[in-house]
C-alpha cells in the first residue's frame, strides 16, 4: 500500500476574526502548509476542503474552487460537508486518493467563519447538523443534546460534574503555550463548576467556544517524498469512518458513540495497530462529556472508566496517555469546518517534536485523532505514526 506522508501543515490562530473572510483565513493556512512542505504549486493534483456553514455565515456555496484559488492552486477541488467532521473527512479522502495511486500530492483542510454572526444566529446555523424534523423543530440544541448524553452516561456508569470539570481544566492548561489557541488561560475546577449553567449538567465552561479559523495539510506519497527529498517523517497509517442515526431518539445508546467505535476499529485495522499502541490522542471535545465518550469509543478506556481519567491525572501532560495537548476544542477553539484538519496538524507537530507541548510526548511514535459530526452521527479517526 502506498505510504501517505504529511509534508507540511498550516494553521491560522483560532479565535475571533469577524473582519476577515473565509477565503482569507484558508489562504493563510494553505500557504503556510505549502511553504512548509516546499512542494511546487504545479505538482498539486487536487484539493479536499471541509466547510459546514459557509452558505449561511457568508452566503457562499461552491466553496471548493474558491478554496483552491485562495491556496494559489490551479487544481480540481471538492468541498466536503459532514458537520463538525467536515475537514476530517477531507483529510480521509486525500489519504484515500494517494493510496489509490491516482495522486501523489494533495492539499486538504478546512475553514469556518462564525463570529461575524451573533450567538443566536450561530446556534441556529449549527442546529442544522441535527434532525430538522424531529429535533430542531422541538427546540433541540447541541448543548441540550450533549447534556442528555451526559445524563445518560452518569445514570449508567456514575460520574459527576467535577469529573467533567477536570477535563476542561486539563485542556485549558494544555492551551497555554499553543500559539494557535483561542483561550490561553488557566481555569480551576471551581471556575468550571461555578460558570453559568447551559443545559444541566453542562455549564458554560464545559462547552467549546464560537471560533473562526482554518487548517491545511500537504499530503504526499512516500515515493514522492523520497524522490524530492522532503522532510516528512509523519505518515497517516490508518483511517476510518463511521456513521449512526442522525437523531438521538433513533439511537440504541445515548452514552456510547457507535459511529466513532466503527471508525476507530477501521482505522486501527488499517494501520495494523491496537488502542494499546497509542501514545497520544487529539479528540473531539466540543463538550467535556464528548472527550469522555471519545476515549471510550477509541478503545482507550473501558465503558464507564474514562469519566475519571482527567481527575486521576491519566490524560494530563504528565499522565500515561496525554489527550488534547493542543488545548482541544474546549480551549484551542472549534471552527467546525477546520477542526478535523487542525487535529491532524497538531498531531503532526506533536510527533515531529516542534509543538510547544511535544516535550510531554518526546518518545511518542503513534497518535490518534478523533473528529465527530453533530452528536457523533458521523465520525472519522486517523492513526498517525513517525517513520524512520
Residues contacting 178, CB < 8 A, separation 6+: 184, 326, 327, 332, 355, 356, 357
Q: Spot the catalytic one: 84, 208, 286, 355.
A: 84
Report CA 12 to chain centroid distance, whole Å: 15
Report, as ranges of residue numbers, the positions in the chain whose pLDDT lies below 50.
Answer: none
- Grid cell 510526548 in the structure block, residue: 361
What pTM, to 2 d.p., does this model score?
A: 0.98
pLDDT at residue number 360: 97
- C-alpha 192/C-alpha 88 separation (Å) is 29
Question: Measured between alpha carbons, how far is 99 from 68 in angstroms, rounded to an integer?
Answer: 22
Superfamily for the 4-118+209-386 domain: Thiolase/Chalcone synthase (3.40.47.10)
Residue 334 annotated among the catalytic residues of the structure: yes
Candidate list 334, 355, 370, 382, residue with the active-site label:
334
> Tens digit of pLDDT for each residue in 145-162?
999 999 999 999 999 999
Cell for 150?
A: 451526559
Pick from 287, 288, 299, 286: nearest CA to 260 = 299
pLDDT at 388: 74
C-alpha cell at 196: 453559568
Instruction: Enumerate the H helices of 108-211 as residue ranges.
Output: 119-126, 142-157, 161-175, 189-194
Instruction: Please check whether residue 285 is in contact with residue 146, taking contact to mean a CB–CB distance below 8 angstroms.
Output: no
pLDDT at 2: 86
Closest to 287 in 3D by CA, of 313, 251, 324, 312: 324
Amino acid at each position: 500500500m502506498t505510504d501517505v506522508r504529511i509534508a507540511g501543515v498550516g494553521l491560522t490562530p483560532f479565535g475571533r476574526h469577524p473582519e476577515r473572510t473565509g477565503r482569507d483565513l484558508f489562504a493563510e493556512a494553505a500557504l503556510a502548509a505549502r511553504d512548509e512542505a516546499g512542494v511546487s504549486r504545479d505538482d498539486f493534483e487536487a484539493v479536499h476542503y471541509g466547510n459546514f456553514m459557509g452558505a449561511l455565515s457568508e452566503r457562499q456555496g461552491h466553496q471548493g474552487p474558491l478554496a483552491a484559488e485562495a491556496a494559489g492552486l490551479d487544481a480540481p477541488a471538492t468541498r466536503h460537508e459532514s458537520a463538525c467532521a467536515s475537514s476530517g473527512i477531507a483529510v480521509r479522502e486525500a489519504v484515500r486518493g494517494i493510496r489509490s495511486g491516482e495522486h501523489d500530492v494533495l492539499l486538504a483542510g478546512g475553514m469556518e467563519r462564525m463570529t461575524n454572526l451573533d450567538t443566536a444566529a450561530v446556534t441556529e446555523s449549527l442546529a442544522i447538523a441535527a434532525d430538522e424534523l424531529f429535533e430542531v423543530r422541538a427546540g433541540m440544541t447541541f448543548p441540550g443534546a450533549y447534556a442528555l448524553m451526559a445524563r445518560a452516561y452518569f445514570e449508567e456508569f456514575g460520574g459527576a460534574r467535577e469529573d467533567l470539570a477536570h477535563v476542561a481544566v486539563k485542556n485549558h492548561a494544555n492551551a497555554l503555550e499553543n500559539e494557535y489557541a483561542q483561550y490561553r488561560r488557566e481555569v480551576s475546577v471551581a471556575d468550571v463548576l461555578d460558570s453559568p449553567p447551559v443545559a444541566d449538567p453542562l455549564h458554560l465552561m464545559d462547552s467549546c467556544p464560537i471560533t473562526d479559523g482554518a487548517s491545511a495539510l500537504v499530503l504526499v506519497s512516500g515515493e514522492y517524498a523520497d524522490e524530492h527529498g522532503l522532510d516528512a517523517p509523519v505518515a497517516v497509517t490508518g483511517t476510518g469512518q463511521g456513521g449512526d442515526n442522525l437523531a438521538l431518539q433513533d439511537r440504541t445508546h445515548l452514552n456510547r458513540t457507535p459511529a466513532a467505535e466503527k471508525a476507530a476499529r477501521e482505522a486501527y485495522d488499517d494501520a495494523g495497530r491496537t488502542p494499546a499502541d497509542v501514545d497520544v490522542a487529539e479528540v473531539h471535545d466540543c463538550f467535556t462529556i464528548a472527550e469522555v465518550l471519545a476515549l471510550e469509543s477509541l478503545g482507550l478506556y473501558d465503558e464507564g472508566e474514562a469519566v475519571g481519567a482527567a481527575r486521576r491525572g491519566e490524560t494530563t501532560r504528565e499522565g500515561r496517555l496525554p489527550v488534547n495537548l493542543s488545548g482541544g476544542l474546549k480551549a484551542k477553539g472549534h471552527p467546525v469546518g477546520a477542526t478535523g484538519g487542525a487535529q491532524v496538524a497538531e498531531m503532526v507537530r506533536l510527533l515531529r517534536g516542534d509543538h510547544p507541548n511535544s516535550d510531554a510526548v518526546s518518545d511518542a511514535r503513534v497518535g490518534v485523532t478523533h473528529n465527530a459530526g453533530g452528536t457523533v452521527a458521523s465520525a472519522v479517526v486517523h492513526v498517525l505514526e513517525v517513520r524512520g
